[in-house]
Structure 1
Amino acid sequence: MFDIQEELKKLPDKPGVYIMRDENREIIYVGKAVVLKNRVRQYFQASANHSPKTRAMVSRIKEFEYIVTDSELEALILECNLIKKYKPKFNILLKDDKSYPYIKVTMNEEYPRVLMTRRMVRDGGRYFGPYSNATAVKETIDLIKKLFPIKTCNKVFPRDIGKERPCLNYYIHQCLGPCQGNVSKERYRDLMKDICNFLDGKQDDIIKRLEEEMAQAAENLDFEKAASIRDKINSLKHIAEKQKVVSTSMNDQDVVAFARDQTDSCVQVFFIRSGKLIGRDHFIFEDSGDTEDGELISSFLKQFYAQAAHIPAEIMIQTGIDEGEVIESWLSEKRGGRVRIKVPQRGEKHHLMEMVSNNARIELNHFRDKVRKEDSYASEGLDKLKTLLGLEAKPARIEAYDISNTGSTEMVASMVVFEKGLPAPGEYRRFKIKSLDRQNDYGSMQEVITRRFRHAEKERDELRREGINAEAGKFTKLPDIILVDGGLGHVNAVKEVMQELGMQIPVFGMVKDDRHRTRGLVAQDREIDLTKDISALRFVTAIQDEAHRFAVEYNRRLRNKRYTGSVLDEIEGVGEKRRKALIKHFGSISKIKTAGIDDLAAVDGISKAVAEKIYEYFRKA
């Protein structure tokens, strides 16, 4: 029998890879260590600092094994190979195992060809890309054939020169006719160099030469040829305008940034070649909400570039990583040249990183919306909630409450409703706190609950007297459960009111972790951890986010009516003192808008939480 504590004592003081197995001996995690003894032991020590996902993994470990390597670099390579082979449950996995298409110009041949490939080899050919998909490559190659009179047949030159009659393309001036020996090898290769310049985004020299040829054709009264050249010039100018210059650096660069919410993460990659954005892609990592930023980026880099056909000279990432140097060494070895991993802090590259991060946020929102629109989403969420809360039936109507205030002004509350697991905006209600003159979340929640159910009681009596269905009122439909944004204190405050009203409706608080992310539900007698069930966590998070959004929007609307000053006053947590500190530090609103979270948090009086709110506000604006 495997004795974990005894085996921990045998761990060597060397680099290597460790493999965790469950009771069925299935591999559930693969990791790399500079010192195996130190790293593996950390998993089985006090778990207070472990993430919920790590705690869940450790609880399933029944045995482990390890492989000693001579260096950390060897350990990294082995780790990549094992993750790719076994796809362990608790590793962050790159599910989209994509092989990107490239355009290859076979400059290593006497008469070069233009073709699509998914493999890059050091054979003297020129490679351009990666492109986002094969369709983009085919469209580009078709355009090249229209703009440049190159051969499109499969004949091999000089072997096949003069063996057959030329094809139609020769007669319509779409091919120079190398099959007939009508063009020298040198001239044909010059044409291919033009194609390489075109793919590099260097159209200016080509356009200048074509304009000279057009002028010469017109001077020779060959107006048909001049018109044909003119059309090519216009096409090239149109393409040059469409290509977006995003970097003044002429190096090949990949820019990697991410966005995340409580449950999932999205990593976005921009492919920049010669300063121009030629393609991009994104990857969704589900159930990675509690993964550290550095771990997310490290895992992505190792898996993405393990299968990449091309590795650029520079990779820019959003946050620093512990394994930066060893990953640089590994990538440099794969590339056959120096690769640098950088975290831009300011200037053009920092702004570029912000753009990629914003795109990651957009893609993550798309993914979240897609998940919430799936037929199984609401039903599965209600099923999970019924089981976790010990309810007799699925809660057909859920009401969720949140309080939003700015000190002693604009104290408001939201009531959002989910019916059959889906938002019911027509049932939403909002409240302005009337009984309090200073911030008091418990008191505010009690006032709102009292008013909501008093309204229901009053409306029911009025509708019955008039002979109208009692369910027709604004407040008469009663919830199966009540969720409040807050902990046990909020739950107790609401339960006190419910007892006074003589109502027996289950009340649960939606609690967050120290990173302000949904963690679980709390009742008077227990707390329910949602982090072990991604379906339940997504469902409750959606309810909590909606309640918060509705409350903040109402708060903002009231503040706008009261005060039409700086846009910063619309941001929750930013008062006059913080507003002045931000303006003093950055000098203008425009610079605050483009600042990153770390830059904002560097301002005196701005905490990380407030910095995140400022950052998110301007991204949603």
Structure 2
Amino acid sequence: MVDIEEKLKLLPEKPGVYIMKDISGKIIYVGKAVILKNRVRQYFQSQANQLPKVRIMVKHINDFEYIVTDTELEALILECNLIKKHKPKYNILLKDDKNYPYIKITINEDYPKILFTRRVEPDGAKYFGPYSSAFAVRETIKLLRRMFPLRSCNRNIERDIGKYRECLYYHIGLCTAPCTGKISKENYRKQVDEAIMFLEGKHDVLLKKLKEEMDKASQNMEFERAASLRDQIYAIEKTSEKQKIISVSGEDQDVISMARSADDSCIQVFFIRSGEISGREHYFMKNTEEMNRSDVVSSFIKQFYEGAPYVPKEIITDVDMEERDILAEWLSKKRGTKVTITIPIKGKKKELVDMVYQNALEALKNDVNFKMEKQKNDAVSELSELLGLGYLERIEAYDISNVRGTDNVASMVVFVDGKPHKSSYRKFNIKTVIGQDDYGSMREVLERRLQHGIEEQKMIDNGELDENKAKFNIMPDLILVDGGLGHVNTAKEVLNSFNIEIPIYGMVKDAKHRTRGLVSPDGEIDMPMTGRAFRLVAEIQDEAHRFAITFHKERKSRGLKSDLLNIPGIGVKRMKALFNEFKTIEGIRKANVDELKKVKGMNEKAAEALYEYFRK
């Protein structure tokens, strides 16, 4: 246990970022401070005035670190980066921010194309977004390609020009076929510039430009081009009518407001470009229970604009924030020119932000209604309610399989939102248990699984492992074991040894080996057999058993039915190495400890265990 009192005495009176960690070393909160000494000490003083959520967090703090910065602005930038990287459990977080879709125009290429993407990269391309709806982005791209027929292929135009015939997209009017030389680079870039103007909301400028071109084409008797421009103008005007709701000024602004329920917070953003509302999106924040509106909106601004490709000249909101000045300074640095954050009291801007709030409220109502409807028909929600737990997003189930104590294996199956998540399934060869000992096997499997998870999370936090390549770092919301109370108690002992709190239940069967229900130290759970929760548990139990049996059979079919695997310290790799060296079981039996130690991958402890096994 770290001596926190001693560390608090060493805190400097300087700005910086503080990082709270739990007993496993995982980062659970990141915050910034104008004076580190004052801010961090507040967490460990009287908790009478603290929010319940903060009191719970403090109970889980085992250690903290801090990074001193020269200014509060540097602290804010570092805080944004650390929150984005670690997604701490107790920070207010923008839900799934890394997955929001963008429209990408590859202006870094000679013949740019328009794409759908979920990643913003420093590649010289131009990005628009983020948007909350992937469907809306794809529909916008379709519209753009009808109005401005840009290519979508990955062909090297400069190298391949003139080598190909026009593709289908050219014939249906969705591409101008630059690969065939039918359009010059100059005219193609003109199309790209027009598409960008459209996405930036500069419809009036674009329409004026296109009408001039149409008149010119008509005068030159280029009637086909004039007709094409006429259709393009008509499409833009119709689209502009749908988007143009109100004109506040001729500048670029984002208008932000928030509506909230007991469990959710919805942020609505209206994007104003050149005085017209060119689009709107809503975003949900999590971990906002008991937090004030100022903290939620402040957190949204930091996380949203940290990765946004564009920052407007003005942000209008109805929430005053303690960090307002430092946020404006940070946004100004990102934009390159001054950015102001305005909280209007009256006038057009106040009317606009009130309208944005009403839209946020409507989006929140729709989401709450959707969730309520979903819960009525959701087996996971039914099971969660039955067990008195929060929503059980990730459920892990374990089963042991062997034949008369030989070839011990175990399965781990994972259900996410009530559906099998097969890429997360894991197989285990039991290494330390000899004979028929289901409790010992269950203990080994859970210890290995939890240890792997803790080690991977530390490697991720230290930058030594890509989170996408980790296999065990995500902990479950519920653990189910195939068996009765003995299996449950064994699993609880393992969890307690790691100081991890995860609900655990046993999946018990009736005399006909069919699912009967769940059991815990408090007794058996009464589960109606006609209920969705019961059917989900039965499905999970059957899947865990099927996966374990399948693995057991695979192991036999690969010729792994060797007594060697029942010896502590001997796994599949060492067994293969032993057979490569001594060819047969008899050869291995006759070898002495020194000969066994020389085999690749063997150590003295395993060699002695193997030698003693054959002498019994």
TM range (shorter): 0.5 to 0.7
Question: Over the residues paired in the alignment, what is the CA RMSD in angstroms?
Answer: 3.6
Aligned partners of 2:115, 2:276: CA distance in 1, in Å? 22
Q: 1:47 aligns to what? A: 47
Query: CA separation of 1:123/1:344 partners in 2, compared to 1, >3 Å: closer, same or farther?
Result: farther
Q: Which deviates the most, 250-259 or 352-361?
A: 250-259
Q: CA contact under 8 A between 2:17 and 2:30: conserved in structure 1?
A: yes
Query: CA separation of 1:61/1:240 partners in 2, compared to 1, >3 Å: closer, same or farther?
Result: closer
1:85-484 matches, cutoff 5 A = 85-119=85-119, 126-148=126-148, 150-151=150-151, 153-167=153-167, 178-201=178-201, 202=203, 203-209=206-212, 211-212=214-215, 215-216=218-219, 230-286=230-286, 288-373=288-373, 374-375=375-376
Q: 2:36 aligns to what? A: 36
Is the partner of 2:93 in helix, strand or coil?
A: coil
The structural deviation recorded for 1:31 is: 1.8
Q: CA contact under 8 A between 1:259 and 1:361: conserved in structure 2?
A: yes
What are the superposed Cα offsets for residues 64-122 of structure 1, whole Å, 9 maximum, x if unpaired? Answer: 33332333223223323333343333222223223444434444544443334445567
The structural deviation recorded for 1:35 is: 0.9
Query: CA separation of 1:331/1:287 partners in 2, compared to 1, >3 Å: closer, same or farther?
Result: closer
**1:140 maps to amino acid:** T
**1:77 maps to amino acid:** I
Aligned partners of 1:212, 1:113: CA distance in 2, in Å? 28
Aligned partners of 1:89, 1:175: CA distance in 2, in Å? 47
Query: CA separation of 1:225/1:174 partners in 2, compared to 1, >3 Å: closer, same or farther?
Result: farther
Structure 2 segments unaligned to the other structure (5+ residues): 390-616
Q: CA contact under 8 A between 2:19 and 2:66: conserved in structure 1?
A: yes
Q: CA contact under 8 A between 2:22 and 2:28: conserved in structure 1?
A: yes
Is the partner of 1:57 in helix, strand or coil?
A: helix
What are the superposed Cα offsets for residues 535-561 of structure 1, whole Å, 9 maximum, x if unpaired? Answer: xxxxxxxxxxxxxxxxxxxxxxxxxxx
Aligned partners of 1:131, 1:287: CA distance in 2, in Å? 22
Is the partner of 2:32 in helix, strand or coil?
A: strand
The alignment of Structure 1 onto Structure 2 pairs a total of residues equal to 382
Q: 1:66 aligns to what? A: 66
What are the superposed Cα offsets for residues 503-522 of structure 1, whole Å, 9 maximum, x if unpaired? Answer: xxxxxxxxxxxxxxxxxxxx
Aligned partners of 2:15, 2:144: CA distance in 1, in Å? 51
Query: CA separation of 1:383/1:194 partners in 2, compared to 1, >3 Å: closer, same or farther?
Result: closer
The structural deviation recorded for 1:39 is: 0.9
**2:188 maps to amino acid:** Y
**1:29 maps to amino acid:** Y
Q: 1:598 aligns to what? A: none
Query: CA separation of 1:131/1:279 partners in 2, compared to 1, >3 Å: closer, same or farther?
Result: farther
Aligned partners of 1:53, 1:81: CA distance in 2, in Å? 23
Q: Which deviates the most, 300-309 or 130-139?
A: 130-139
Query: CA separation of 1:8/1:356 partners in 2, compared to 1, >3 Å: closer, same or farther?
Result: same
What are the superposed Cα offsets for residues 123-163 of structure 1, whole Å, 9 maximum, x if unpaired? Answer: 76554444444433333333333334555554444443333
Q: 1:10 aligns to what? A: 10
**2:162 maps to amino acid:** G
Aligned partners of 2:336, 2:77: CA distance in 1, in Å? 16
Aligned partners of 2:152, 2:29: CA distance in 1, in Å? 50
Structure 1 segments unaligned to the other structure (5+ residues): 386-621
The structural deviation recorded for 1:284 is: 3.2
Q: CA contact under 8 A between 1:258 and 1:265: conserved in structure 2?
A: yes
Query: CA separation of 1:65/1:156 partners in 2, compared to 1, >3 Å: closer, same or farther?
Result: closer
Aligned partners of 2:260, 2:168: CA distance in 1, in Å? 55
The structural deviation recorded for 1:54 is: 2.1
Q: 1:586 aligns to what? A: none
Q: CA contact under 8 A between 1:130 and 1:278: conserved in structure 2?
A: no
Aligned partners of 1:142, 1:225: CA distance in 2, in Å? 21
Q: CA contact under 8 A between 1:263 and 1:288: conserved in structure 2?
A: yes
Aligned partners of 2:259, 2:17: CA distance in 1, in Å? 29
Query: CA separation of 1:75/1:161 partners in 2, compared to 1, >3 Å: closer, same or farther?
Result: same
Query: CA separation of 1:192/1:372 partners in 2, compared to 1, >3 Å: closer, same or farther?
Result: closer
Is the partner of 1:288 in helix, strand or coil?
A: coil
The structural deviation recorded for 1:291 is: 0.9
Q: CA contact under 8 A between 1:252 and 1:275: conserved in structure 2?
A: yes
Q: CA contact under 8 A between 1:372 and 1:378: conserved in structure 2?
A: no
Query: CA separation of 1:166/1:364 partners in 2, compared to 1, >3 Å: closer, same or farther?
Result: closer
Aligned partners of 1:173, 1:366: CA distance in 2, in Å? 38
Q: 2:80 aligns to what? A: 80
Query: CA separation of 1:383/1:103 partners in 2, compared to 1, >3 Å: closer, same or farther?
Result: closer
Aligned partners of 1:153, 1:383: CA distance in 2, in Å? 52
Q: CA contact under 8 A between 2:102 and 2:118: conserved in structure 1?
A: yes
Is the partner of 1:98 in helix, strand or coil?
A: helix
Aligned partners of 2:168, 2:28: CA distance in 1, in Å? 61
TM-score, normalised to structure 1, is 0.53
**1:32 maps to amino acid:** K
Query: CA separation of 1:49/1:239 partners in 2, compared to 1, >3 Å: closer, same or farther?
Result: same
Identical-residue share of aligned pairs (%): 51
Query: CA separation of 1:330/1:142 partners in 2, compared to 1, >3 Å: closer, same or farther?
Result: same
What are the superposed Cα offsets for residues 434-483 of structure 1, whole Å, 9 maximum, x if unpaired? Answer: xxxxxxxxxxxxxxxxxxxxxxxxxxxxxxxxxxxxxxxxxxxxxxxxxx
The structural deviation recorded for 1:38 is: 0.9
Aligned partners of 2:37, 2:200: CA distance in 1, in Å? 50
Query: CA separation of 1:190/1:228 partners in 2, compared to 1, >3 Å: closer, same or farther?
Result: closer
The structural deviation recorded for 1:348 is: 2.1
Is the partner of 1:38 in helix, strand or coil?
A: helix
Query: CA separation of 1:112/1:78 partners in 2, compared to 1, >3 Å: closer, same or farther?
Result: closer
Query: CA separation of 1:138/1:13 partners in 2, compared to 1, >3 Å: closer, same or farther?
Result: same
What are the superposed Cα offsets for residues 25-82 of structure 1, whole Å, 9 maximum, x if unpaired? Answer: 5443222111111112222333333222223333444443333233322322332333
Aligned partners of 1:377, 1:150: CA distance in 2, in Å? 46
Q: CA contact under 8 A between 1:130 and 1:271: conserved in structure 2?
A: no
The structural deviation recorded for 1:287 is: 5.3
Q: CA contact under 8 A between 1:100 and 1:309: conserved in structure 2?
A: no
**2:51 maps to amino acid:** S
